[in-house]
Amino acid sequence: MQSKGLIKFLVAVLTVACLYALSFTFVTRKVERDAEAYAGGDIAKEKAYLDSIAGEVVYNLGVAKFTYRECKAQELPLGLDLKGGMNVTMEISLDELIRNLANNPKDEKFNNALTTAIQKSKSTNTSIVDLFINEYKASGASATLASFFATKDNSNFISNNSSEADVKKFLQIEADNAIQNSFKVLRTRIDKFGVASPNIQIQQGTNRILIELPGVNDADRVRKLLQGSAKLEFYETHDNGQIYPLLDNINRTLASSLKSTENTVAKADTAATDTTKKENLLANLGGNKAAKTDSSAAVANMAAQNPLFSVLMPSIYQTPDGQQQLAPGAQIGIAALKDTAKVNAYFERPEIKALIPANVKLLWAVKPEQSASLLSLYAIKVGAGETGSVLSGDVITDARDEFDPQTNSPVVSMKMNSYGAKEWRRVTAKASQKKEAIAIVLDNVVYSAPTVQSEIAGGNSSISGNFTIEDTKDLANVLKSGRLPTTAKIVEEAIVGPSLGQAAIDAGLNSSLIAVVVVMLFMVAYYNKAGWAANIAVIFNVFFLLGILASLNAVLTLPGIAGIVLTMGTAVDANVLINERIREEIRGGKSIRQAIADGYKHALPSILDGQITTFLVGVVLFFFGSGPILGFATTLMVGIITSLFTSIFISRLIFEFMLERDMKINVSFPWSANTLLGANFQFIKKRKLFYTISIIAVAVSLISIFTKGFSWGVDFQGGRTYTVRYEQPVNLEEVRKNLDNEFKSTTEVKTFGSANQVRVTTTYHITETSDEADAEVLAKLNTGLEKISGNKYEILSSQKVGPSIASDITDRAAWSAIISILIIAVYIFVRFHKWQYSVGAAVATIHDGIILLGLFSLLDGIVPFSLDIDQHFVAAFLTVLGYSVNDTVVVFDRIREDINKSLGTNKYFGDVVNHAINTTLSRTIITSLTIIFVLVVLFIFGGEVIRGFAFAILVGIVVGTYSSIILASPVVYDLGKNNNSISKPKAVEPKVVTP
């Protein structure tokens, strides 16, 4: 084995790297178990515990130390289907944006064009901007588009003479800005919400933002948080020196109040606190900031005497003579992130709220400024008027992140309209007299509070500070929100309750463990000691896979667990190919050492071809899928890479280890040594019979597809789905009748797992995505469910999909299937250099897809589990195509190998193809059986959520095995049978050139 030392080194490095990546998950799980034990079932107490240690070091590697928050950011996170929580898709209203940019014109053709564009956007991937421009052009309107958008606010970008291309560019930039700004605002809101490991991302090429909030159970609060319009305001501020006496009074009041309720501080200490001078207190606080406390008793004494200042450090600085002084400016204090909730709770106490004047509002900064764990608090001056601000964000006409030409530091420039310029001049003139700050506030969070040095006229100003480039980009986006008054609506929503999530975890773990045991037992039972080598490779494969997923911060979903289990099948597939080849070489009379070397050499092309085709399917799923499907695609692709590495290199290292120690290597038991040896089934001669069977199966499938149809999941048809658990089994017809009466339409009710669980799907208010519509649907659902008297129930999960999302998912599913087949066909053509092989693989693949769809149509309503066509089915469908081609390619590789061996022998082409099928039959059946074992385990123990998913792949593997044996290769034969014999190409006689 060449480069054995390098491979050992790579295995060692990868092992250490994976251990490191997974170690963060082990640490966070231990901390969370401790929190759970401490809380004793009290969720609020458990969260408070985790918040309190967020900034504490919980993982010490010597050379590096990690806080709980840092470990949490690097753990292998669980998806919503495993942990419970909420998943929403927000859609930015670009039609509203376009109307606002044009000052809401009354022009009929303008509004009709925009309305039509919105309707068409639900069934196409074309952008709303392009659709709107095309529709307006088609309307025959005489007014130019520029005339609508050449407003005073847009004068820097659009004039009456601007071309259509200029308008299109302007609208696209503004649309992108609106989406980016909404993303920034939503991300900030979610961070303030306090969700552990949230995931928020823009769905590229669309006006949608995907948000995952693990562990969230207050859906109404989340909806209000996400859908509330962003409110940008400018406030005058109070100076730190003006506010400190208030903080000192709050501190003393708290000490007295807490003492009376908790009785933790002696009267003498309280008296000493009351008589402490301001200068001494400042000095003590400053000392505490820099020096270490002598003991825990001192810390407790400080907290008792100064409860507020023990968690909120006043904003102070040290003078040259060593004295502590109050720092000038609007920043009045700083607190550790873990203590901000405690500070807020102090301010919310009735006796403290009574002390805070009506013109004072205390707001936190948007993010840590001094370090990763400290947050600043600002004192905002509330003026007259409804909001108390001096200006609102709608006066901003433009904002950009730039660099100061003198200092080359990042700054933000902004421009205001005429009204804003006038007010801004007045406000800045007043603030500049005392060098006061103006706070820029969005959603009650301070983004910046720059000190005004001089009056600013003309409405153009620059905001400078200790900014990074990212800071100025964020602030510019926030300022732009004033001129982008568009809304974000929830168009898709899924809520998974903790109990259903825990059931999914249990089912996933159980199915994984059982699948591992089943596969390992089979490999040892069939391949003897070679099976042990394969098993060790499989264990390394799963370990590497989990480690790489953790390092990529990939979210582990239930389909992801299924992907891990299926990855074991691909790893076994490669080892089966290798072991079958080794057995062939041994039968040829070679020594065990030579047989192993040649077995790996000859198996490698088939392994690569088969795994690459499946990997290509994973790539398509990755780009077209979302949520759990994205997790499945990631797991599948990473798993294929790790399978190749472990199957080709680690199993080989194990064989080499055994050879060096003269250990006896057996590749079979006596009963399994000659399985299908010498098989000579006449697949080519009987191909017409098989063609007839396949044509009949395809015809029956197509008839069912076009007559009976499918049970469409909510992903594809839109609507709302709820998973409901009753205490006792229920009658489906009774539940359906009650709900039909409430919704005044047909409701789909199916058993979901056990007889006391049902899945309800309704299209009532399918086009409505508002909170009011959600509430009405939920109220009618509860009314219908409550009619089952004496049987309590709970809603375990819910999902909402709007029509535009459903249309988009349908399009993505169709394109992913088409692109997968095309990519596979192109790869096979490139690999085998003959179009006949591509056509053969395509025919077999399409055959498998139609039959799988047909079975889901035929069996729906007959089998006792859900056969909905949803995103999970799409993932299963494409996976089946990949595995089908995997089997087919192995046969094709053997055909090509046998053709090369037969050159010049005048062998009949049909005999070569038939021989190739028969010699690979053992491998095909054993691999399929191994994967079938895994899928049966998934189907039985994987839980109801993925039962349909497992069933689809299970059926697909059986059908795919059938087509790769009796369909793909015979099609290649029929398309190329004009070359009935395989003869050696005639040598070209050299020409003799006579001078």
Query: What is the DSSP annotation of 464-512?
Result: -SS--HHHHHHHHHHHHGGG----EEEEEEEEE-HHHHHHHHHHHHHHH
pLDDT tens for 313-327 read: 898 888 787 788 888
Return the pLDDT at 620.
Answer: 83
Return the pLDDT at 858.
Answer: 92
Return the pLDDT at 379.
Answer: 93
Q: What percent of the chain has pLDDT over 90?
A: 8
Return the pLDDT at 742.
Answer: 86
Report residue 987's pLDDT band, with 50, 70 and 90 as the boundaries: very low
Return the pLDDT at 293.
Answer: 41
Q: Which one has a higher pLDDT value, 740 or 946? A: 740
Give the three-state DSSP class for 603: helix
First-residue to last-residue Cα distance in the chain = 54
Would the pLDDT of 282 be above 70? no
| Secondary structure letter of residue 716 according to DSSP | H
Element (H, E) at 344: helix 340-348
pLDDT tens for 670-721 read: 887 777 777 788 888 889 999 999 999 999 999 999 998 888 776 677 778 8
Return the pLDDT at 196.
Answer: 56
pLDDT tens for 503-555 read: 666 776 777 788 778 888 888 888 888 888 888 988 898 899 999 988 887 77
Lowest mean pLDDT among 155-164, 262-271, 297-306: 262-271
Return the pLDDT at 77.
Answer: 78
Return the pLDDT at 391.
Answer: 87
User: Which of 336-345, 625-634, 759-768 has the largest mean confidence?
Assistant: 336-345
pLDDT tens for 188-230 read: 767 656 555 677 777 766 777 878 777 676 677 677 667 766 6
CB neighbour list of residue 576: distance below 8 Å, 6 or more residues apart: 534, 923, 926, 927, 930
Query: Mean per-residue pLDDT for 329-357?
Result: 87
Give Cα 619 distance to the centre of its chain: 15
pLDDT tens for 364-398 read: 888 776 556 788 899 999 887 767 888 887 788 88
Burial of 270 per CB tally in 10 Å (0-12, 13-18, 19+): middle
Whose tokens are 């290292």? That residue is 653
Would the pLDDT of 658 be above 70? yes
Return the pLDDT at 940.
Answer: 83
Whose tokens are 């001669």? That residue is 685
Dist. CA 17–CA 6, nearest whole Å: 16
Return the pLDDT at 807.
Answer: 66
Q: What percent of the chain has pLDDT over 70?
A: 84
Dist. CA 433–CA 424, nearest whole Å: 14
Contact 431, 381 (CB under 8 A): no
Please give the single-letter amino acid code of residue 219: A
pLDDT tens for 840-885 read: 888 988 899 899 999 989 998 788 777 878 777 877 787 777 777 7
Return the pLDDT at 290.
Answer: 39
pLDDT tens for 632-646 read: 788 888 888 998 899
Would the pLDDT of 749 be above 90? no
Long-range CB contacts for residues 253-261, cutoff 8 Å, separation at least 24: 253/351, 253/352, 253/355, 254/307, 254/308, 254/346, 254/349, 254/352, 255/304, 255/305, 255/306, 255/307, 257/349, 257/351, 258/304, 258/307, 259/304
Lowest mean pLDDT among 31-45, 285-299, 345-359, 562-576: 285-299
Query: Mean per-residue pLDDT for 973-982?
Result: 66
Dist. CA 256–CA 306, nearest whole Å: 10
Report residue 277's pLDDT band, with 50, 70 and 90 as the boundaries: very low
Burial of 980 per CB tally in 10 Å (0-12, 13-18, 19+): exposed
Query: Mean per-residue pLDDT for 289-311?
Result: 65
Report residue 994's pLDDT band, with 50, 70 and 90 as the boundaries: very low
Mean predicted lDDT score pLDDT of the chain? 79
Phi, psi of 14 (to 5 degrees): -65, -35
* Structural domains in the chain, sorted by start: 4-75 (no CATH), 89-229 (no CATH), 236-386 (no CATH), 390-484 (3.30.1360.200), 497-668+679-707+808-982 (no CATH), 719-801 (3.30.70.3400)
Return the pLDDT at 627.
Answer: 58
